[in-house]
């Protein structure tokens, strides 16, 4: 009965498929062996760790190997592991969609006794607020959040300080007085970065103008490259990408021999001849500060985890050889002044690009107000 | 009598086994600890109550979209536009939620549901009417309309409907309480799952017993034969497309009103396509749709336990799903081939 | 910069933007002409994109990289054809399954290639410094793959409509019954068309990863495979119409970026809808008016060939039901 020809054929086809896959798999093995192996091992080790480590899980919405925003978070968790050793067990979960799926994944983490959930994208806020309310023992950290709860802290990075410094460099290096910015979407999280960059540039060179091209996708390297290309064609001679992943912008800058300001991580690898400098997230220090408090049982959700150069939560990457010493000096001075609080990006008077005064003279925007900026500063077109 | 090894469940088991085997090989090629991963997938995925209820949450929109696809299929046509019909239903429900200023939950939810069904039905009407009047391929038109619906959604949430309180993030403000579909306490399961099961059951009966069912069966078998026998083929086709669109639109209402509480990007991570696969898997038989939808929902929900516990990248989940689909396709092809052979030799 | 210069800039920028679309759409056109619909282009293209970067990394030879990409993607094309032609699987489902499977597989196996710097300059002034150095900096200094795409499109035009084997391929797509009566082996024809279609989609992916974006990232096609599908419909299954259509689509894709760079505000979402709406209009109009003209949609597109000629009365569009 089981040996009828049809059933045998069915099994043979499946077997053939298996063999084909096996051949493919062997072919694919050498190139792929390392990353998955290293990805799998730490978690396996963490499961058997001895004195009840603090279980930390970090969720990001993009691939954690993107040389960009998401990788910056994954790198930060490596710093956390180095710092605390086997006192923490870290999981980094990339590509978690900011949809209903996020709730299921967080719930699953909670079911498995995670102590701290770090939601590294603003899009998770609804979910983390909801789950924090029903899971009092679990601590949450919500990036860019503004709805704290007793077990839900918020954190953010004052990246605009680093952008201002980059603006100073760009403003000094441009010849055409025109900066090109590739950005993801026309929304405040992009706009407060763009504005800081342009304000920095205009602080040293009031003739600077900037052009912004929004690609209207969170992720499309092809479009990002095309946008950088379009900006360069419009005589922008320093370009940058306010994107989750600015690698395509860097590669285009390299190809078209146009100065680049990097973003997210050090991009000089992709644009060795043209990288002036770049901004860098330093989430590692921020997470260490937070986890340190938890370790000392001193955590409360009101802990101030918002900071820039002063707390070491942002940084700039190294200067390219073409940046003159005088400009470096200027940039370093600005960094020092941000660190000691004598310089701030959003202190009035500030006019938007329609001529309206948006920040009155002498007034300084709060961090919360900055996060909601929906205007572009004068000089941006 | 059909031999046991030739029955469809046995084919499915073979297919699932084959897919898992290849999946294990792929994992092994990537240097993962295969037994650990398989243990996570097969055991830990089902280790908690929430894992089970989440399966139903995931199955709800898939089931409604599958009904939409199966309705078209049962009159001999392909509707892969349930994705767009879901999205446009979500947009319409959101429009009502934003514009209707009432705190009467009953009124609000009924209006939102009706709007979603109307919009989904209209979105289904387009490929149907272009098919019957101009002869345009409904597969392609319904696919194209998915993109237009998606872009319309993006246009609205990045523009007129953007929530000023969300740091400019592209999403509408949260709906008022009256516009929230109640959930089963402690879970995210809501009434539309039951609706889908009942609808599938009713359609299964109607397809066998009513004149509509008979007309659809004739049109499915041969539209030419149907035309000769005096049936209005266009009417049957249009009715199935509009009804299918309306039900898929309702899925969009469920997602915004029950799960998200607002309209946002990614309201559907491809539920329409998943629904199409479910409809195909059941070969359009309505009574099997809930079973297959729950099974697929389970596979998807189990997939993220891989991501959470094994440290493997998100892509691994896609590989497993893709392998399952392909091996089921092969199993089905083998079954169909054997059936044809048997018929011929008889 | 004047408006005239802006128009010139957009037209120039459209060329590289259109190249990958042109490759993928041309491949799909040939495959569809043989009677098989492949919805899995997004996945096939990703296979090409990732193998091209792999080939470039191991060999530093762009020619080898592109050939490897074409070969790998042709493999995916053949697999699709074998499933759809020999096993008669449902073509829509097979295509969707391929998108899921190949998106996952390329992301999984391509992890180590993420963040690799891809340094390829295929502009013809660089590739053939002797003969073409004079055109460096002019609009004609496009990359090699772009020129090749145009040449292949014209060759395909000739091949499909002026050669015997092209006529056989079209016959397989227009009526499997007639083709069988003419002694054409439909299965072989369709599998070969699947291989060609896959290879071209792979070349399109290679152009995207090697030339256009200069990197590998998972899911980097970002919907281009689907756009290529629309393009085939828009061009009404004719290579002659495909060439200008691809450039129109390419230009629409980057139009809004260039308008912004020029300083004009515009909504990209509405602009992005245009190709889809146009494709529906074109499809409906041509289906209604010139349903039986040879340059329109292959009549047997999506129809699996029957096992036995005598097995069952021929059912029109059986693929349109879910029971294949």
ipTM of the assembly? 0.85
**Interchain contact, B14 vs A10, CB within 8 Å:** yes
Q: Give the pair of three-digit tokens for residue C10.
A: 């957009």
Touching check for A334 and chain C: CB below 8 Å?
A: no
CA-to-CA distance for B121 and B128, rounded, in angstroms? 10
**Exposure string (b/e) for C284-303, b if CB count within 10 Å is 16 or more?**
bebbeeeeeeeebbbebbbb
Higher model confidence: residue B238 or residue C294?
B238
Residues on chain A touching C47 (C-beta within 8 angstroms): none
| Chain C neighbors (3+ CB pairs < 8 Å) | A, B
Task: Give the pLDDT score at B304.
Answer: 75
120-149 in chain C: CB under 8 A from chain A = 121
144-173 in chain A: CB under 8 A from chain C = none
Per the prediction, chain C carries an average pLDDT of 84
Among C110, C105, C89, residue whose Cα is nearest residue C39: C89
CA-to-CA distance for B124 and C204, rounded, in angstroms? 33
Nearest CA distance, A200 vs chain B (angstrom): 23
DSSP A156: E
Q: Which of B5, B14, B32 is the closest to A40 by Cβ?
A: B32
Task: Give the pLDDT score at B205.
Answer: 94
**Interchain contact, B334 vs A9, CB within 8 Å:** yes
Residues on chain A touching B164 (C-beta within 8 angstroms): 374
Residues on chain A touching B255 (C-beta within 8 angstroms): 100
Nearest CA distance, B28 vs chain C (angstrom): 12
Task: Give the pLDDT score at A360.
Answer: 93
pLDDT single digits (tens) B31-69 = 778 888 888 777 766 667 777 888 899 999 999 999 999
Task: Give the pLDDT score at B2.
Answer: 55
Touching check for C218 and chain A: CB below 8 Å?
A: yes
- The secondary structure of C66-88, three-state, reads HHHHHHHHHHHHHHHHHHHHHCC
**Interchain contact, A14 vs B261, CB within 8 Å:** no
**Interchain contact, C229 vs B143, CB within 8 Å:** yes
pLDDT single digits (tens) B142-196 = 989 999 999 999 999 988 898 877 777 788 999 999 999 999 888 899 999 999 9
Give A232's contacts (C-beta < 8 A, 6+ positions apart): A180, A239, A252, A253, A256, A258
Task: Give the pLDDT score at B35.
Answer: 86
3-state secondary structure of A41: helix
Task: Give the pLDDT score at A232.
Answer: 93
Q: Which of A180, A221, A234 is the closest to C220 by Cβ?
A: A221
Check if the beta carbon of residue B14 is closer than 8 Å to that of residue A14: yes
Task: Give the pLDDT score at B346.
Answer: 66
Higher model confidence: residue A88 or residue C287?
A88
Question: What single string gives the DSSP state of each residue in A331-361?
Answer: HHHHHHHHHHTS--TTBS-EEBTTS-EEE-T
Task: Give the pLDDT score at A100.
Answer: 77
Model confidence band, residue B5 (pLDDT cutoffs 50, 70, 90)? low
Question: Going by DSSP bridges, is the β-strand pair A350-351/A357-359 parallel, antiparallel, or unpaired?
Answer: antiparallel
Per the prediction, chain B carries an average pLDDT of 87
Question: Going by DSSP bridges, is the β-strand pair A314-316/A275-281 parallel, antiparallel, or unpaired?
Answer: antiparallel
Check if the beta carbon of residue B311 is closer than 8 Å to that of residue B32: no
Task: Give the pLDDT score at C222.
Answer: 83
Handedness of CA B234, B240, B241, B246 (dihedral sign): positive
12-71 in chain C: CB under 8 A from chain A = 13, 16-17, 20, 54
Nearest CA distance, A239 vs chain B (angstrom): 24
Strands (E), A159-292: 178-183, 209-214, 238-242, 259-262, 275-281
**Interchain contact, A112 vs B301, CB within 8 Å:** no
196-225 in chain B: CB under 8 A from chain C = 220-224
Per-residue pLDDT of chain A (381 residues; tens, 9 = 90+): 334 444 444 444 444 455 444 444 443 333 333 333 344 444 444 444 456 899 999 999 888 888 889 999 999 999 999 999 989 999 999 888 887 788 888 988 998 889 999 999 988 999 999 999 999 999 999 998 888 999 999 999 999 999 999 999 999 999 999 999 999 888 888 999 999 999 999 999 999 999 999 988 877 888 999 999 999 988 999 999 999 889 999 999 998 999 999 999 899 999 999 999 999 999 999 999 999 988 888 888 888 888 899 999 999 999 999 999 999 999 999 999 999 999 999 998 999 999 999 999 999 999 889 988 989 999 998
Task: Give the pLDDT score at A168.
Answer: 97
Lowest mean pLDDT among B203-207, C134-138, C206-210, C215-219: C134-138
Q: Give the pair of three-digit tokens for residue B136.
A: 């345009």
pLDDT single digits (tens) C116-161 = 888 888 887 777 777 777 777 777 778 889 999 999 999 999 999 9
Listed ranges B91-105, C221-235, C294-308; the one with the highest mean pLDDT: B91-105
Residues on chain B touching A70 (C-beta within 8 angstroms): none
Q: Is pLDDT above 80 for B328?
A: yes
Nearest CA distance, C296 vs chain B (angstrom): 11
3-state secondary structure of B171: strand
Task: Give the pLDDT score at A32.
Answer: 36
Which residue of A108, A121, A185, A214 is the best one to mutate when testing the B interface, meaning the one whose CB has the most B CBs within 10 A?
A108
Lowest mean pLDDT among A72-76, B246-250, C194-198, C255-259: C255-259
Task: Give the pLDDT score at C305.
Answer: 55
Q: Is pLDDT above 70 for C284?
A: yes
Task: Give the pLDDT score at C127.
Answer: 75
The chain B residue lying nearest C105, using CA atoms, is B319
Instruction: Tell me what percent of the residues of chain B surpass a pLDDT of 70.
Output: 97
Touching check for B341 and chain C: CB below 8 Å?
A: yes
Instruction: Tell me what percent of the residues of chain B surpass a pLDDT of 90.
Output: 45
Nearest CA distance, C222 vs chain B (angstrom): 13
**Interchain contact, A252 vs C113, CB within 8 Å:** no
Residues on chain C touching A245 (C-beta within 8 angstroms): 217
Cis peptide before C81, with omega less than 30 degrees from 0?
Answer: no
Model confidence band, residue B3 (pLDDT cutoffs 50, 70, 90)? low
Q: Is pLDDT above 70 for C303?
A: no
Higher model confidence: residue C179 or residue A120?
A120
Q: How many residues does chain B have?
A: 346
- Give the H/E segment covering residue C295: none
Q: Which of A213, A222, A234 is the closest to C222 by Cβ?
A: A222
Q: Is pLDDT above 50 for B273?
A: yes
Model confidence band, residue B6 (pLDDT cutoffs 50, 70, 90)? low
**Interchain contact, C13 vs A255, CB within 8 Å:** no
Cis peptide before B320, with omega less than 30 degrees from 0?
Answer: no
The chain A residue lying nearest B310, using CA atoms, is A40
Task: Give the pLDDT score at C316.
Answer: 38
């Amino acid at each position: 009965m089981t040996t009828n020809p049809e059933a045998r054929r069915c099994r043979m086809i499946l077997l053939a498929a298996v063999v084909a896959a096996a051949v493919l798999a062997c072919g694919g093995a050498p190139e792929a062996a390392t990353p998955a192996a290293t990805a799998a091992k730490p978690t396996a080790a963490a499961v058997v760790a001895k004195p009840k480590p603090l279980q930390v899980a970090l969720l990001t919405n993009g691939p954690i190997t993107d040389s960009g925003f998401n990788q910056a978070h994954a790198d930060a968790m490596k710093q956390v592991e180095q710092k605390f050793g086997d006192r923490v067990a870290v999981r980094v979960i990339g590509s978690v969609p900011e949809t209903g799926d996020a709730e299921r994944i967080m719930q699953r983490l909670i079911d498995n006794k995670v102590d701290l959930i770090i939601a590294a994208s603003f899009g998770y806020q609804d979910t983390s607020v909801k789950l924090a309310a029903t899971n009092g023992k679990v601590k949450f950290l919500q990036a860019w959040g503004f709805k704290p709860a007793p077990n839900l802290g918020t954190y953010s990075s004052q990246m605009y300080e680093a952008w201002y410094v980059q603006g100073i460099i760009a403003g000094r290096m441009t010849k055409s007085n025109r900066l090109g910015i590739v950005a993801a979407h026309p929304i405040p999280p992009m706009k407060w970065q763009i504005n800081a960059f342009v304000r920095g540039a205009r602080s040293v060179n009031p003739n600077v103008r900037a052009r912004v091209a929004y690609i209207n996708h969170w992720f499309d390297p092809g479009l990002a490259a095309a946008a950088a290309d379009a900006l360069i064609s419009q005589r922008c001679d320093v370009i940058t990408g306010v994107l989750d992943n600015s690698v395509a912008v860097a590669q285009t800058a390299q190809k078209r021999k146009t100065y680049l300001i990097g973003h997210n991580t050090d991009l000089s690898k992709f644009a060795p001849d043209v990288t002036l400098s770049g901004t860098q997230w330093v989430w590692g220090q921020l997470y260490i500060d937070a986890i340190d408090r938890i370790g000392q049982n001193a955590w409360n959700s009101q802990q101030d985890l918002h900071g820039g150069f002063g707390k070491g939560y942002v940084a700039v990457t190294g200067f390219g050889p073409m940046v003159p010493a005088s400009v470096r000096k200027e940039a370093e001075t600005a960094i020092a002044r941000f660190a000691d609080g004598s310089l701030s990006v959003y202190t009035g008077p500030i006019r938007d690009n329609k001529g309206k005064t948006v920040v009155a003279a002498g007034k300084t925007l709060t961090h919360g107000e900055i996060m909601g900026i929906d205007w572009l500063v004068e000089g941006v077109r | 009598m059909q031999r046991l090894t030739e029955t469809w469940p046995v084919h499915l088991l073979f297919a699932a086994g084959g897919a898992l085997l290849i999946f294990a090989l792929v994992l092994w090629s990537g240097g993962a600890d295969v037994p650990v991963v398989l243990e996570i997938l097969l055991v830990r995925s089902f280790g908690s109550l929430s894992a089970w209820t989440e399966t139903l949450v995931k199955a709800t929109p898939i089931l409604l979209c599958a009904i939409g696809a199966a309705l078209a299929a049962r009159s001999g046509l392909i509707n892969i536009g349930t994705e767009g019909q879901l999205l446009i239903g979500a947009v319409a429900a959101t429009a009502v939620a934003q514009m209707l200023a009432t705190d009467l939950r009953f009124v609000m939810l009924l209006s939102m549901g009706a709007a979603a069904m109307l919009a989904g039905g209209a979105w289904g009407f387009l490929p149907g009417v272009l098919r019957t009047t101009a002869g345009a391929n409904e597969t392609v038109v319904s696919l194209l309309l998915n993109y237009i619906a998606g872009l319309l959604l993006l246009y609205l949430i990045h523009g007129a409907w953007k929530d000023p309180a969300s740091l400019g993030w592209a999403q509408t403000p949260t709906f008022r309480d009256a516009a929230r579909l109640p959930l089963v306490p402690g879970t995210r399961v809501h009434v539309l799952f039951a609706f889908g099961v009942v609808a599938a059951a009713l359609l299964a009966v109607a397809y066998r017993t009513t004149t509509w069912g008979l007309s659809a069966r004739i049109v499915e078998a041969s539209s030419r034969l149907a035309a000769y026998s005096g049936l209005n083929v266009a009417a049957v086709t249009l009715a199935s497309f509009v009804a299918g669109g309306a039900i898929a639109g309702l899925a969009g209402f469920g997602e915004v009103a029950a799960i998200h509480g607002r309209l946002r990007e990614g309201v559907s991570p491809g539920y329409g396509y998943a629904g199409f696969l479910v409809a195909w898997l059941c070969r359009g038989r309505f009574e099997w749709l809930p079973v297959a939808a729950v099974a697929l929902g389970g596979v998807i929900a189990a997939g993220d336990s891989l991501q959470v516990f094994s440290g493997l990248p998100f892509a691994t989940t896609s590989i497993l799903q893709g392998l399952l689909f392909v091996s089921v396709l092969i199993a089905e092809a083998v079954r169909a081939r054997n059936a044809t052979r048997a018929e011929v030799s008889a | 910069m004047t408006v005239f210069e802006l128009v010139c800039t957009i037209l120039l920028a459209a060329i590289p933007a259109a190249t990958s679309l042109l490759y993928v759409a041309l491949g799909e056109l040939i495959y569809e002409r043989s009677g098989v619909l492949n919805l899995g282009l997004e996945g096939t293209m990703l296979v090409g994109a990732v193998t091209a970067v792999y080939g470039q990394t191991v060999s530093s030879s762009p020619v080898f990289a592109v050939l490897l990409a074409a070969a790998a993607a042709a493999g995916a094309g053949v697999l699709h054809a074998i499933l759809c032609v020999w096993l008669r699987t449902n073509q829509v489902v097979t295509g969707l399954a391929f998108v899921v499977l190949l998106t996952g597989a390329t992301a999984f196996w391509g992890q180590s290639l993420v963040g690799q710097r891809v340094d390829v300059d295929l502009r013809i002034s660089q590739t053939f410094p002797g003969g073409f150095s004079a055109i460096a900096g002019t609009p004609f200094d496009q990359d090699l793959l772009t020129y090749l795409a145009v040449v292949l499109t014209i060759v395909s035009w000739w091949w499909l409509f002026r050669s015997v084997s092209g006529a056989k391929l079209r016959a397989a797509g227009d009526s499997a019954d007639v083709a069988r009566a003419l002694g054409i082996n439909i299965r072989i024809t369709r599998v070969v068309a699947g291989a060609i279609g896959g290879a071209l989609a792979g070349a399109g992916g290679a152009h995207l990863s090697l030339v256009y974006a200069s990197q590998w990232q998972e899911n980097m096609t970002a919907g281009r495979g689907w756009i290529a599908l629309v393009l085939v419909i828009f061009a009404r299954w004719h290579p002659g119409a495909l060439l200008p259509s691809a450039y129109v689509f390419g230009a629409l894709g980057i139009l809004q970026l260039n308008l912004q760079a020029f300083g004009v505000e515009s909504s990209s979402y509405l602009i992005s809808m245009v190709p889809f709406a146009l494709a529906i209009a074109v499809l409906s109009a041509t289906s209604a008016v010139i349903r039986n003209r040879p340059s329109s949609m292959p009549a047997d597109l999506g129809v699996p060939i029957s096992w036995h000629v005598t097995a069952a009365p021929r059912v029109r569009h059986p693929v349109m039901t879910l029971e294949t």
